[in-house]
Chain A
């Protein structure tokens, strides 16, 4: 695995903090959803090193979680409105 500069992690940390504060203060649904996705991406890509793994592996991990999220939150959760 290639070495990542310490500074990269702390830049990621700073970005996560800014997004979190933005989410707490703005509190618009669209901002919250985009903020959660942005934070998850930063944690996955830099902290969990997905950015530095082989592309096929990253795609398999991302795709499996994306498909599940799509089925659960795109197809099943909205049905709650019809109850």
Chain B
């Protein structure tokens, strides 16, 4: 799988150290978002009222964002598969589709933020009554959006360097993780 093994002839779980480190990073990053969402859940249960999400968000728009991110994860998985097969052409094509999906998602999030900010939403205040609502909204979606932005940069570098199978696989793991986090943000923030 990977030429560089740990000394001693044994690599833990038969994976490269790069992949093991990526997983360690993903688990620790998952703890970050779990902490955010738990703080949000605690605050929401403790609050007497909470803004009606149908008045604040446009669900069709958010569902479209979710669709794009899920689709970009599927194109990323295909790109990783192509890289493993040594099919550089298919890999480049699906990597480009994934980057496009990430940029679409970022653009739509920027549009959503702009819409809410124009309506008067700030970190400390918002027109829907509960100040903590917009604080949690901007912090959690902001952190996630930053992860998407970093993911797009990683994918651009991966494509630019014409990375081999292992490099694309690492970028893929990160990208799927960002999609995984959105599953919980979408569920906890927009649907419940």
Binding site for B on A (CB under 8 A): 1, 3-4, 6, 9-10, 12-13, 16-17, 20-21, 23-24, 27, 29, 32-33, 35-36, 39-40, 43-44, 46-48, 53-54, 56-57, 61, 64-65, 68-69, 72-73, 76-81, 83
Binding site for A on B (CB under 8 A): 1, 13-15, 23, 27, 30-31, 34-35, 38, 41-46, 59, 63, 66-67, 70-71, 73-74, 76-78, 81, 84-85, 169, 172-173, 176-177, 179-180, 183-184, 186-188, 191-192
Inter-chain contact B1/A1, CB cutoff 8 Å: yes
> Which partner residue on chain B sits nearest A73 by CB separation?
B38
- Centre residue among B42, B77, B85 by max chain A CB count within 10 A: B77
Cβ B13 vs Cβ A13 within 8 A: no
Residues A72 and B38 in contact, CB atoms below 8 Å apart:
yes
Contact B45 A80 (CB under 8 A): yes
Contact A20 B42 (CB under 8 A): no
Contact B71 A13 (CB under 8 A): yes
The one of A16, A20, A57, A65 in contact with B15, judged by C-beta atoms closer than 8 angstroms, is A57
Residue of B with least CB distance to A48:
B176
Specify which chain B residues have a CB less than 8 angstroms from the CB of A57 in the assembled complex: 13, 15, 23
Q: How far is the CB of A34 from chain B (nearest CB, A)?
A: 10
Given A1-B84, A68-B34, do A43 and B192 touch, yes or no (CB 8 Å)? no
Q: How far is the CB of A42 from chain B (nearest CB, A)?
A: 9
